[in-house]
Chain A
Amino acid sequence: MELQWQLCSETNLALFFPKPITLEKQQKCWALSDSIQKMPEVIEVVIGMNTLSVFIVPLTWAELTTFKDKLSDLLNDIPSKTIHGKHVEIPVHYGGKYGPDLAAMANELKLSVEAVVELHTKATYTVYFIGFQPGFPYLGGLSESLYFPRHAIPRTQVPAGSVGIGGEQTGVYPFESPGGWQLLGQTDTALFDLTKSSPTLLNAGDTLTFKAIDIHQ
């Protein structure tokens, strides 16, 4: 499938890499984002899961056509960018009131609660991008044995700091929000802090591990 930019609004163009999701494609997104961000028409670039969205200032029809051509030229030879990010360890209270879905999920997966926690804490995750809400990391690297569908009916309130699994992804909710993920535990670590010069704890390219503080039944 040939890659091409899709116009999603008068001021937004998106690029979707074909599935499956890989770190290599994400590294291309990171590299493309760097060069696109420098273009004068561009307000900001949003990296998604093997996707890129370019937000631009309002342009005329002719300017937009020229801009789209310039973006398309970038796809002829896409470089790759390796980010040597920092490593962050996130301490988590697993199970009990902290992770109300852990027991049922373990049961469904025919694993012990301890085994689920071990699989979740053993892996090193890569931050693919930050999105959805301030500081929310989209992580790659979840063990396939822990893939688990989202709740059919999302919770109206997921507490801030909740650590969960949704489909093939795991992550942490920085703020209270509605959400459909299976909740395994909770952390006290702040993922977004405006008093810091870099408000997000994590950035694209960082790596992360979860560490069990305790496991509640």
Chain B
Amino acid sequence: MKILTASALASIQDSGRLGYRSMGVGRNGVMDSWALQAGNALMKNEANEPAIEIALGELTIQFEESVSFCLTGSLYEAYLDDKRVPCYWRINATAGQTLKLLRPLQGMYTYLCVHGGFDIEPVLQSVSTNLKAGFGGFEGRYLKADDSLTVKSESSLPVIGVARLAPTEVIRVIKSSEYDCFTESSKQAFETQPWKLQSSSNRMGYRLEGTAALEFSKPVEMSSHGVDIGMIQVPPQGQPIVLMADGQTTGGYPKIATVINADIGLMAQIRFGKACQFVVVSLEQALREQQKRQHYIDQIKEYANEN
């Protein structure tokens, strides 16, 4: 398939590059891993098959082959030629047809998955794009007009649709190692006040702003340590940053909490200017919620494989 126009931030991502943090190479990968897994399940792909991640703008693609695809994640207004494309449905495109993604109606990140996947050479065992260091994915960068992607195989699958995870602003977290370094009122404010997503947020981190900044009960001086997607760092000025997929491998700010694995995708879908609310849950609950998500993916897989 060929990219005709790209004002959107569109990059090739899989579930991430693991095992190279000790070289300073972070995970990258999708912002919403549940949406990628749902898309791949619907397409009968392996869970980690790469997709095009699309955010904040338009993307027009011309198919040069007959292929079955789907859009998952945020709800994008999209058209195949002039026919509206519903998200979370399998769609069959034929050579010469044009897919136009106009704008996200809800959420931030959409995934274009194709049956069989894209033919892309992995770098350090992953095809995720490392935009900062410029490797992986498609030439280590965002897609632009005239780029050509090879689809591994032609396909046409029965048209079926599946449910998506309901979007929410209520994000569940577990306490992290420095939770008790914050004042009681800050711990309370963390859960009670809304946190507005700043437009300076990106794939590296989601910067939040609340009316009351978070305060430490005693000065905390941390040494650089390994960090990961979902961890909520609090710099000295007291406004938290949620580390996201392109986060650095090590950081030095205290961490109040971590978004549970089940909810990281939902966090990723919050839009600039919107607020989220944090709720602290137990580790046990976090692990149960993770299993529920896995069950949701398994259900899609089962239904997709029957059709």
Contacts and interface: CB of A to CB of B under 8 A. Distances in A.
Interface residues of A, number: 45
B249 A131 contact: yes
Interface in B47-76: none
Interface in A1-54: 6-12, 14, 16, 19, 21, 43-53
Contact of B258 (A8, A134, A175, A204): A8
B90 to A, nearest CB: 28
A10 B283 contact: yes
Contacts of A12: 226, 228, 231, 258
Nearest to A48: B225
B267 to A, nearest CB: 13
Interface in A141-185: 174-175, 177
A94 interface: no
Contacts, number: 141
Given A8-B176, A10-B290, A194-B123, A130 B24 contact: yes
Given A61-B287, A133-B248, A138-B224, A10 B260 contact: yes
Given A8-B258, A9-B174, A134-B24, A48 B224 contact: yes
Interface string A69-84: 0000000000000000
Interface of A: 6-12, 14, 16, 19, 21, 43-53, 55, 58-61, 64, 129-136, 138, 174-175, 177, 192, 194, 199-200, 204
Interface of B: 18-25, 123-124, 130, 132-135, 174, 176-177, 221-228, 230-231, 248-250, 255, 258, 260-261, 283-284, 286-287, 290
Given A8-B255, A52-B226, 8 more contacts: A9-B176, A9-B231, A44-B19, A44-B22, A46-B249, A131-B24, A192-B24, A199-B23
The 10 closest A-B pairs by CB, nearest first: A53-B226, A46-B226, A131-B250, A6-B177, A48-B225, A51-B225, A49-B223, A9-B258, A49-B224, A130-B24
